[in-house]
Amino acid sequence: MLQELQNQFLPSTVGGLVIGSIYALVALGYTMVYGVLRLINFAHSEIFMIGTFASLVTLTAIAPAGPLGGIAMVGVLVLIVVISAIVSGGAAVLLEQVAYRPLRKKGATRLAALISAIGASLFLQELFGLKVINWLTGKPGRNQQSAPRFVDRDTLFSIGNANVRTDHVLVIVAAVIVMIFLDQLVSRTKIGRGIRATAQDPEAAVLMGVSIDKIVRITFLLGGAMAGVAAALYVMEIENTDYRVGFVLGIKAFTAAVLGGIGNLRGALLGGIVLGLVENWGAIFLGSQWKDVIAFVILVLVLMFRPTGILGESLQRARA
Partner 1 sequence: MKGEGVAKGNAGLRALHPITRMRDWWADAPQWQRYTVYIALIVIALILPAPWIGSFMSPYSDWTNVLVYPIGTYILLAVGLNIVVGHAGMLDLGFVAFFAIGGYTLAYFGTKHGWTFWGTLVMGIVLAAVSGVILGAPTLRLRGDYLAIVTLGFGEIVRITANNTDEIGGARGITNIPHPSPILGMEFLLDAAPYYYLILGAIILVIIFSVRLTKSRVGRAWAAIREDEDAAELMGVPTFKFKLLAFAIGAMIGGLGGGIYASKAVFIQPETFPFILSATILAAVVLGGAGNLPGVILGAFVIGWLPERFRFLAEYRILAFGAVLVLMMAVRPEGLLPSRQRKAELHEGTGGMGTMGAEVPGPDSDSTAEVSQ
Pairwise CA distance, residues 233 & 228, whole Å: 9
Element housing 5 (H / E): helix 2-37
- What's the closest the beta carbon of residue 193 comes to partner 1, in angstroms? 15
Q: Which is nearer to partner 1, 4 or 126 (CB)?
A: 126
- What's the closest the beta carbon of residue 22 comes to partner 1, in angstroms? 19
Distances (CA, A) of 101 to 72, 95, 104, 220, 233: 42, 9, 5, 12, 30
* Cβ neighbours of 139 (radius 10 Å): 12
Q: Which is nearer to partner 1, 39 or 81 (CB)?
A: 39
Q: Which is nearer to partner 1, 9 or 296 (CB)?
A: 296
DSSP labels for 88-106?
A: HHHHHHHHIIIIIHHHHHH
Q: Of 265, 254, 142, 93, which is closest to residue 195 (Cα–Cα)? A: 265
Q: Which residues bind partner 1 (CB under 8 A)?
A: 36-40, 98-100, 102-116, 118-127, 130, 198-199, 202-203, 205-206, 212, 215-216, 247-248, 251, 254-255, 258, 287, 289-290, 292-293, 296-297, 299-300, 303-304, 307
- What's the closest the beta carbon of residue 310 comes to partner 1, in angstroms? 16
CB contact at 8 A, 219 and 64: no
Q: Which is nearer to partner 1, 120 or 236 (CB)?
A: 120
Q: Which is nearer to partner 1, 115 or 185 (CB)?
A: 115
Pairwise CA distance, residues 177 & 183, whole Å: 10
- What's the closest the beta carbon of residue 59 comes to partner 1, in angstroms? 27
Q: Which is nearer to partner 1, 27 or 233 (CB)?
A: 27
Categorise residue 107: left if φ over 0, alpha if ψ from -120 to 50, beta otherwise.
left
